[in-house]
Amino acid sequence: MIRHLLSAGDLDRDEAIAILDTAGELARATGRSVKKLPTLRGRTVVNLFYEDSTRTRISFEAAAKRLSADVITFSAKGSSVSKGESLKDTALTLEAMGADAVVVRHSASGAAHRLAMSGWTDCVVVNAGDGTHEHPTQALLDAYTLRHHLSDGAGDLQGRRVVIVGDILHSRVARSNVLLLETLGAEVTVVGPPTLLPVGVEGWPCSVSYDLDNALTGADAVMMLRVQNERMNAAYFPSAREYSRRYGLDRHRAELLAPDGIVLHPGPMNRGMEITAEVADGPRSVVVEQVTNGVHVRMAVLYRLMGALPELESEAGS
Amino acid sequence: MSMVIREVAPYGEEAVDMTIDDGRIARIDPAGSAPAGEREIDASGLIVLPGLVDLHTHLREPGREDAETIESGTAAAALGGFTAVHAMANTQPVADTAGVVEQVWRRGQEAGYCDVHPVGAVTVGLAGERLAELGAMADSAARVRVFSDDGICVSDAVLMRRALEYVKAFDGVIAQHAQEPRLTEGAQMNEGELSGVLGLRGWPPVAEEAIIARDVLLAEHVGSRVHICHLSTRGSVDIIRWAKQRGIDVTAEVTPHHLILTEELATTYDPRYKVNPPLRTADDVAAVREGLADGTIDIVATDHAPHAHEDKDCEWGAGAFGMLGLQTALSVVIETMVETGRLSWREVADRMSTAPAIIGRVESQGRPLEVGEPANLVLVDPRARWHVNADALASRSRNTPFEGREMSGRVVATFLRGRPTVLEGRLA
Ligand SMILES: [Zn+2]
């Protein structure tokens, strides 16, 4: 059992599957009723969001609340983590408040790692996205979603072909997914313009391609990454139109997937840029499911990291 | 007052008695045979070298006395075996006028633990726009010969050309911090597979190598000498080797940390290991060691860069670039170059004393261990081992990358013109 969740690479196959299985049980236990489980009653989870990310923050808040934890949110828009207060000072504050776990989103790569390893706090640390490094709970919810569609919601993703497309260089989602999907046995291909693939990507546990059509052919799933317009201004590619033409997902390209192949996107989507509205809202898209699954997967992560494991059976059956 | 250093081995060779009088080496006798002095030091088992000379030190005064002062920095230098340091110009205010360099020079004289030779800024305010008054700094009491915008690259090719040409008039040298600015915007660590995995913006080797290649060609074209600060990559070593074969008047330095540490340390996300240029790969480390051994790289320079605690006790991205170096430099060279058989002690004296003194045109330092020469000396116990404890270092800052590490060889005593600045490993 790991103490913190900092990188998707921290999870071995058994651990990853255990989290996904727990998420499945929690989903069944709470169902659509948004019922609360008493598991984390009396425990405090702090959401520390230096970067504004409404969807991830809400997902973690919902996850902690459904486990009956006390939830405190510090966000960049509030006063407590506004400019000038360092990560360390905030960590010391959390420690003084008696927080049990801290969910941290920060613009600096390694911020969660630093928080966990610096000795500033004894809290369990969950990385909710650090700079251009990792976003492990996003990878877990993507794996959960993939498993549901491609492996009957059980076991691993052995032999499944997953294509990740777009700004790999700046994407924490891509890094975490490559690591986790490889751990689960999937065959991953990353695709993007060479300018948006990191130096040394050949050493990653995945294939690399510049040719989207070729990579998509027969694949079981494609994950489209958001591409920010500022990348265009920094000369990573010439124009939005050229990007869409070469690396965007439209209906014709989506048809290259295996017959039951699915389309994922971590959101928020740039409709018309990396994905057309038709595909985003079409039958292959599982984007809405991803959001739902995010809450269950985050519940599972908090549940396991905060040491609530033994009670699961009885609660899930209650 | 005369002092006899008994049974000391110059350059690790045959032991002698060395008598110091009136600030100079007064006599050298066979071991055990020198007449008694007013003071005697038993130096059996110790090696004597000319006092070390650092061409690249950040003393932070004026402006950031919370991180280091001329007094604390020169104390660290003396404890590290140095008798002269070159204080980089990126202070607040910048050392870009005769007034500031003279102030640093005088404070150095007062602090007294070692000589302080101010480095003058190449451009006004390090802004890279127009030349500072290089001649006025050269003519000042500080007699500046080394000019550098260190911390920032003189990236404008025309400005660099003019600077190289201009300092010929007073035998100066431009020390270039080789970093192509556009290629390194926001850079956090060496660019390679690891930077991609860690999600840290990469600092590609080509950003250093491209500037070095340009500047050696500029130096050749205008017939000037140029010095390259802290080179860190195999490619840079290759370019310097090529340039020297071509007869270009280029010198180069490597830091102790680039001789021993690699980029792997970035996996800790601990800004203690954040430095500019960044720690590179094991292959680069091998290349700079080879380059230093074969003389392609002329000198070791510390790039001692103190930073206040809060500038390092934070996330990697917010951390300041730089690490302490003065008190650990010689030990790192012993471990990486002497104990591995790459350098003799004579060559250590060359790389850490003689050659930097020549590049900086400091006549009284880096002299041979001969009768009549100024007694700028360091006594080293090559077999001693010690552990780095940041709190025990003389620096006002604690940002050593070697905390807790066992180090090879220890400075026992340092003499500045015959006067001990360090005895028995402590400030005298
Ligand atoms: Zn520099």
pLDDT of residue A83: 55
B150 Cα–ligand 1 center, Å: 4
Please write the tens of the pLDDT for every residue from B383-414. 999 999 999 999 999 999 999 999 999 999 99
Going by C-beta distance under 8 Å and a sequence separation of 6 or more, which residues neighbour residue A84?
A: none
Whether residue B44 is predicted with pLDDT greater than 50 in this model: the reply is yes
Mean pLDDT of B188-210: 98
Parse chain A into domains and list their residue ranges.
Answer: 8-134+292-316, 136-288
- Is A225 in CB contact (< 8 Å) with chain B? no
A134 Cα–ligand 1 center, Å: 31
Whether residue A312 is predicted with pLDDT greater than 50 in this model: the reply is no
Mean pLDDT of B173-181: 98
CA proximity to B74, closest of B382, B273, B302? B302
pLDDT of residue A316: 43
| CA atoms B338, B341, B342, B344: torsion sign | positive
> Rg of chain A over CA atoms, in angstroms?
19
Q: How confident is the model at residue A82 (pLDDT cuts 50, 70, 90)?
A: low
Please write the tens of the pLDDT for every residue from B280-331. 999 999 999 999 999 999 999 999 999 999 999 999 999 999 999 999 999 9
Please, what is the average pLDDT of chain B?
97
Alpha-carbon distance B26 to B203, whole Å? 51
Mean pLDDT of A127-135: 97
Mean pLDDT of B26-34: 97
- Tell me the residue type at A205: P
Residue whose tokens read 């001692």: B304
Whether residue A232 is predicted with pLDDT greater than 90 in this model: the reply is no
Element (H, E) at A126: strand A124-130
CB distance B81 to B410 below 8 Å: no
CB distance B416 to B382 below 8 Å: no
CA proximity to B161, closest of B214, B207, B202, B236? B214
**How would you classify the pairing of strands A221-224 and B52-57?**
unpaired
Domains and CATH numbers, chain B: 3-47+373-384+405-427 (2.30.40.10), 51-359 (3.20.20.140)
Residues of B known to be catalytic? 303
CB distance B235 to B206 below 8 Å: yes
Mean pLDDT of B105-125: 95
Q: State how far the alpha carbon of B51 is from the alpha carbons of A16, B341, B405, B415, in Å.
A: 59, 22, 25, 7
Please, what is the average pLDDT of chain A?
91
Q: Which residues pair with A249 in a beta bridge?
A: A275
Q: How confident is the model at residue A231 (pLDDT cuts 50, 70, 90)?
A: confident
Alpha-carbon distance B417 to B30, whole Å? 23
Mutate to test the interface with B, among A199, A206, A233 (most CBs of B within 10 A): A199
Mean pLDDT of A248-266: 97
Whether residue B35 is predicted with pLDDT greater than 50 in this model: the reply is yes
CB contact under 8 A, B313 and A118: yes
Q: How confident is the model at residue A313 (pLDDT cuts 50, 70, 90)?
A: very low
Q: How far is B392 from chain A (nearest CA, A)?
A: 21
Whether residue A48 is predicted with pLDDT greater than 60 in this model: the reply is yes
Which residues of chain B have a CB within 8 Å of the CB of A106? 315
Candidate from B192, B199, B268 with C-beta closest to A200: B192
Q: Say what the pTM is.
A: 0.93
Around ion ligand 1, which residues have CB less than 5 A away?
B 150, 177, 229
- A37-46, A71-80, A127-136, B256-265: range with lowest mean pLDDT: A71-80
CB contact under 8 A, B199 and A132: yes
Structure tokens belonging to residue A310: 């033994």
CB distance B270 to B316 below 8 Å: yes
B325 Cα–ligand 1 center, Å: 13
Q: Which residues pair with B245 in a beta bridge?
A: none
pLDDT of residue A315: 44
Please write the tens of the pLDDT for every residue from B140-171. 999 999 999 999 999 999 999 999 999 999 99
Residue whose tokens read 């009670």: A311
CB contact under 8 A, A200 and B193: yes
Q: How far is B387 from chain A (nearest CA, A)?
A: 22
Nearest residue on chain A to B271, alpha-carbon basis: A114
pLDDT of residue B111: 84
Which residues of chain A have a CB within 8 Å of the CB of B264? none
- Tell me the residue type at B354: T
B146 Cα–ligand 1 center, Å: 14
Structure tokens belonging to residue B362: 């400091």
* HEC string for chain B: CCEEEEEEEECCCCCEEEEEECCEEEEEEECCCCCCCCEEEECCCCEEEECEEEEEECCCCCCCCCCCCHHHHHHHHHHCCEEEEEECCCCCCCCCCHHHHHHHHHHHHHHCCCEEEECECCEHHHCCCCECCHHHHHHCCCCCCEECCCCCCCCCHHHHHHHHHHHHHHCCEEEECCCCCHHHCCCCEECCHHHHHHCCCEECHHHHHHHHHHHHHHHHHHCCCEEECCCCCHHHHHHHHHHHHCCCCEEEEECHHHHHCCHHHHHHCCHHHCCCCCCCCHHHHHHHHHHHHHCCCCEECCCECCCCHHHCCCCHHHCCCCECCCCCHHHHHHHHHHCCCCCCHHHHHHHHHHHHHHHCCCCCCCCCCCCCCECCEEEEEEEEEEECCHHHCCCCCCCCCCCCCEEEEEEEEEEECCEEEEECCEEC
Which residues 44-73 in chain A show a CB within 8 A of chain B?
Answer: none
3-class SS at A74? strand
pLDDT of residue A75: 81
Which residues of chain B have a CB within 8 Å of the CB of A203? 193
pLDDT of residue A228: 83
Mean pLDDT of B256-279: 98
Q: How far is B203 from chain A (nearest CA, A)?
A: 11
Structure tokens belonging to residue B410: 């220890």
| CA atoms B76, B79, B80, B85: torsion sign | positive
Q: What is the CATH number of domain A8-134+292-316?
A: 3.40.50.1370
Please write the tens of the pLDDT for every residue from B239-264. 999 999 999 999 999 999 999 999 99
Q: What class does CATH assign to A136-288?
A: alpha beta
Q: In chain B, pLDDT over 90 holds for what percent of residues?
A: 99
Please write the tens of the pLDDT for every residue from A268-305. 999 999 999 999 999 999 999 999 999 999 999 999 99
Whether residue A35 is predicted with pLDDT greater than 80 in this model: the reply is no
Mean pLDDT of B113-134: 97
CB distance A115 to A102 below 8 Å: yes
| CA atoms B123, B127, B130, B132: torsion sign | negative
CB contact under 8 A, B188 and A109: yes
